[in-house]
Each structure stands twice: as structure tokens, then as C-alpha cells.
Amino acid sequence: MRALCCLVLVCVAPFLVGGCVATALVPVAAIAAKGVSKATVAARPISDSEEYYIGRAVAARILTNYKLDPNPKLTEYVNEIGNVVARKSSRPNPFRGYHFAVLDTEKINAFACPGGIIFVTRGLIKACQNEDQLAAVLAHEVGHVVHRDGINSIKQSRWTEVWTAMGKEAVTMYGGSVAAGLVSLFESSIDDVFKTIVVDGYSRKAEEAADIVGIQELCRAGYDPNALVAILSIMEAKGKGTSSGMFETHPPTAERLAKAKAEASHCPPAKGVALRAKRFKKEVS
Amino acid sequence: MRLVKYCLALGLALVLLLPGPGWSEVLKVTQSNQSLYPDPDFGDHPVAQVPVGAEVSVVNQAGDWYKVEYQGKTGWLNRQAVVQPQSGSKFNLQGLLFGTPVKQTSSDEVALAGKGFTPEVENTYRAKHPNMNFAMVDKIESFKVAPATLQAFIQEGDLKP
């Protein structure tokens, strides 16, 4: 009988002793060991899924300032155009796909959130003269998603905060399911992206690169590649004398327009522009 | 004799309460807009949609992906679909006995982005910022263009297929 008792204790002891030892040693050893690997892994690019969650939060923040346009037909139309150009991009399938939404405001603007949520304002749609110009706006915004411009706007200095998060993690790992430091970093990143896409705008270089990608998408989809230059010119005229709007921070300079024209010249003329202009008039009016 | 009984009971309890191996596990989908994929890859076309609250039977696992069965269809579901909302008061015998495990996955994700942005982080962020309009974001993500509709749109507009 004593032998049986010993057998049971032998079976159970490793769980109990091991658990206690693990509890005591893991915080010190594991965190120290993870510190080395973290520094290495932190240099890796952000994953598509992480970009997606940042994008959702940025979109949620934008939607604290704007309402969605209540017209489902207009939203459907914008999604159809958006999908036509996005499927011709070099990044046709982000983590959860592209989703296009119309903001209920007369302001002229468009935002590409990281991961594939793209907003266009009703004011900008009304400023477009035809479907091809609206496609150009959406293709340009898809270009920002393709280049991950939103994510790239997160300050490099935040990468060093990994180490801070590690310190906090050591404190919180036994108390909560998500370390508070992580949420703080999440907030900071959202602030960076929001500030860039809504307040400051992207760099001139990023805008020009998105133009090029957008024109290539238009060309592959069968839209007029000159439509981007056309809508940029309209925006320039409308934006003159105003202190806000889509191109206030990064206006369509002569150099930008010239580069866009040069890119468009590589693409053959589009068919069906007038046909689509009729569709636009019907859907947008 | 009494000691033997106690030991046996303790051993039996541990065997029963500790999680065991095997793939008879049923998972509940907690996130919206989830799909089953033919392979563990988001790049594939989904084989089925899985709504929030759906229960799926796990038949295999590979990394962050579960191979599951749902309504007669088999496909791969990413683990982010079944992330549990935060709860601070769940009783956990294993945790009580051995301490809360080091969250290696979360830690790696911290490193991955310098942030570790996962559904768990979003849940905590949402609780901290109730003014953020995630309901509208979910609505936007429900906007989908059916392939047939898109093809008709392309054809009607004289666009390239």
C-alpha cells in the first residue's frame, strides 16, 4: 500500500514542484531571455493582421468625427469602383480585404486607413465629374495601402518602447490578460497614423508614389489613366484660398502633376469613359 | 490507508482537471467577419463564412490556424477568430496551482510590431475608449461586393475583366 502511495506521489510531484519552480523562475529567466529575442524580432515588419487592427482603430477614431453617408446605393457604387481598382493593385488581398465607405460631409477629402478601410467624403465624390475620376481617387488611396504608408508613419522611436513594454509586462503578466503597456503602445501608434492621414498628410514622396500606383491600377482596370491628373487639377482649383481639405498639406504641385501625366502616357487610351460618366451621373445624383 | 485514498483522489483530480491532448475541442467564434479557408492562408478564397457565436469542431492545428468542421464544411480558421474577451474573474485551477503562464505568444507579438496588436489588445483599447466607433467599423467591414455583381459592373462599364 505504501508503494502505491509513493507511486501516486511520484506522479503528482513533478506537477506541483515543477509548477512552483516555474512560477518562481520564469519571470526572471524568461523575461531576460525574451529581451534578446525581442530586440531581434522587433526589427521585423509589422504583420498584415497587426496592420489590420491598427487600421480598424484609426477608422473608429475617424468615425468619432464623421458619420457614414446614409445612402446605401452610393456606398455600394463606391465599393464596386474601389474593388475594380483594388483587384488590379499589387496588394489585392489585404488581411480582411478592402472596404470603402462614404463620409457624410461636404468637405473634400479621402483617407486610407492601414489594412484596407478607405474613406471618401461625399464632397469629394461631388467634386468628381465622372466615374473615372472617382476611380482615380480610390486608386490613389489604394496606393497608400499598397505602400503601407499609414503604418510607415508610426514613429520609429516607438520601436524602442518594446523595452518599456517588457518592463511593464514583468509587472502585469500575473495580473491581467493583456499588458497595459501594449495598449499604451497601440494608442500611440494610432495617434501617429491618425495625425499623419488626417492632420499632416503624407510626404510629397509618398503622395507621388501613390499617384503612380493609382494610375497603374486605373490602366489595368480599363479606367482613363488621365483621370487622376484631371481630379488633381480640379482639387487644386477648388483648394485655392482654403485653409483645409485634402490637398492643403500636400497640394498637387506642378512637379507632381507632371510625374502623373508622364506615368499616364504609358497607358493606352481608355474605352467607355462616356458610358461610365452616364452611370456616375445616375448613381451620384 | 486514509493517506492512500487522499493520494489517489488528488491524482485522479489532477488527471481530470488538467487539459488533455486530442482534437475533440469545440471552439466558439468571437470575432465578426470570419471565414474558413481551404489552406491556412488568408490569400485563398474562403470556402465559407463563420458568424459570431458559431461553434466549430477542431480536427487539427498548425501554428495560428485551426482546421475545423462547420456545418459540413472543413476549412482553416485563424486563431484570431476565437479569441476570448477579457475576463478578470475566471477560476483557473492550473493557474492557481502553477501560476499564470508566461504569455509567450503575446510577448512575441509585442516584439513583432514593437506593439503586438491583436484582438485582445483591441478589446482592451475599446474598453478604455468607449467613444471610438467600432460598431461603424464593423458595419463598413460588412460591405461586400459579390463576385457576380462585380463582374456585371465591369461588363456594364466596358472595363477590363
List of chain B residues whose C-beta atoms are within 8 Å of the C-beta of residue A278? none
List of chain B residues whose C-beta atoms are within 8 Å of the C-beta of residue A269? none
Measured in angstroms, the CA of B150 and the nearest CA of chain A are apart by 6
Q: How far apart (Å, rounded) are the C-alpha atoms in residues A59 and A99? A: 11
Selected for mutation to probe chain B from A63, A75, A78, A163 (highest B CB count within 10 Å) is A63
Confidence of residue A165 (pLDDT cuts 50, 70, 90): low
Q: What is the DSSP letter of A157?
A: G
Yes or no, beta carbons of B107 and A22 under 8 Å apart: no
Q: Which of A77-91, A141-155, B45-59, B96-110 has the weakest average pLDDT?
A: B96-110
Query: Which residues share a beta bridge with B68?
Result: B58, B75
Looking at residue A245, its pLDDT comes to 53
Q: Which of A248-262, A265-279, B33-47 has the weakest average pLDDT?
A: B33-47
Q: How far apart (Å, rounded) are the C-alpha atoms in residues A81 and A135? A: 6
Phi and psi torsions of A4, nearest 5°: -60, -45
Looking at residue A121, its pLDDT comes to 94
Average pLDDT over residues A265-277: 96
Yes or no, beta carbons of A80 and B153 under 8 Å apart: yes
Looking at residue A164, its pLDDT comes to 52
Q: What is the DSSP letter of B63?
A: T
* Extended beta strands in chain A, E state: 99-103, 110-112, 117-121
Identify the CA nearest to A228 among candidates A147, A141, A132, A142: A132
Listed in order, the ranges of chain B carrying CATH 2.30.30.40 are: 23-84
Yes or no, beta carbons of B121 and A63 under 8 Å apart: no
Tell me yes or no: is domain B23-84 CATH 3.90.190.10: no
Looking at residue B110, its pLDDT comes to 39
User: Are the C-beta atoms of B66 and B76 separated by less than 8 Å?
Assistant: yes
Selected for mutation to probe chain B from A16, A73, A80, A103 (highest B CB count within 10 Å) is A80
Q: Which of A116-125, B2-11, B64-73, B124-133 has the weakest average pLDDT?
A: B2-11
Q: Which of A142-156, A173-187, A228-242, B19-33 has the weakest average pLDDT?
A: A173-187
Looking at residue A171, its pLDDT comes to 43
Phi and psi torsions of A264, nearest 5°: -65, -30
pLDDT(B139) > 80:
yes
pLDDT(B38) > 60:
yes
List of chain B residues whose C-beta atoms are within 8 Å of the C-beta of residue A54? 115, 117
Looking at residue A33, its pLDDT comes to 42
Of B104, B133, B143, the CB nearest to A99: B143
Per residue in A115-143, pLDDT (tens digit) is 999 999 999 999 999 999 999 999 999 99
Q: Which of A26-35, A196-205, B17-26 has the weakest average pLDDT?
A: A26-35
Looking at residue B9, its pLDDT comes to 60
Q: What share of chain B is helix, strand, coil (3-state, %, to 5)?
A: 40, 20, 40
pLDDT(A259) > 80:
yes
- CA distances B46 to A50, B33, B38, B40, Å, are 20, 11, 7, 11
Yes or no, beta carbons of B124 and A178 under 8 Å apart: yes
Confidence of residue A247 (pLDDT cuts 50, 70, 90): low
Looking at residue B21, its pLDDT comes to 39
Yes or no, beta carbons of A20 and B11 under 8 Å apart: no
Yes or no, beta carbons of B97 and A48 under 8 Å apart: no
Mean predicted lDDT score pLDDT of chain A = 79
Report the complex ipTM. 0.79
Of B117, B145, B157, the CB nearest to A279: B157
User: Are the C-beta atoms of A222 and B160 separated by less than 8 Å?
Assistant: yes
Looking at residue A75, its pLDDT comes to 97
pLDDT(A152) > 80:
yes
Under the phi-then-psi rule, with left for phi > 0, alpha for psi from -120 to 50, and beta for the rest, what region is B71? left
Looking at residue A285, its pLDDT comes to 81
Whether the CB of B102 is below 8 Å from some CB of chain A: the reply is: yes
Average pLDDT over residues B33-40: 81
pLDDT(A178) > 70:
no
Confidence of residue A34 (pLDDT cuts 50, 70, 90): very low
Yes or no, beta carbons of A101 and B132 under 8 Å apart: no
Yes or no, beta carbons of B112 and A46 under 8 Å apart: yes
List of chain A residues whose C-beta atoms are within 8 Å of the C-beta of residue B130? none
What lies within 8 Å, CB to CB, of B90 at 6+ separation is none
Please indicate whether residue B97 or residue B147 has the higher confidence score (pLDDT): B147
Yes or no, beta carbons of A222 and B160 under 8 Å apart: yes
Confidence of residue B16 (pLDDT cuts 50, 70, 90): very low
Yes or no, beta carbons of B115 and A22 under 8 Å apart: no
Measured in angstroms, the CA of A209 and the nearest CA of chain B are apart by 24
A27-31, A70-74, A235-239, A253-257 — most confident range: A70-74
List of chain B residues whose C-beta atoms are within 8 Å of the C-beta of residue A74? none
Q: How far apart (Å, rounded) are the C-alpha atoms in residues A167 and A31? A: 9
Identify the CA nearest to A26 among candidates A170, A177, A179: A170
Mean predicted lDDT score pLDDT of chain B = 73
Measured in angstroms, the CA of B23 and the nearest CA of chain A are apart by 23
pLDDT(A15) > 50:
no
pLDDT(B6) > 70:
no
Looking at residue B155, its pLDDT comes to 97
Average pLDDT over residues A37-52: 63
List of chain B residues whose C-beta atoms are within 8 Å of the C-beta of residue A99? 140-141, 143
User: Are the C-beta atoms of A159 and A225 separated by less than 8 Å?
Assistant: no
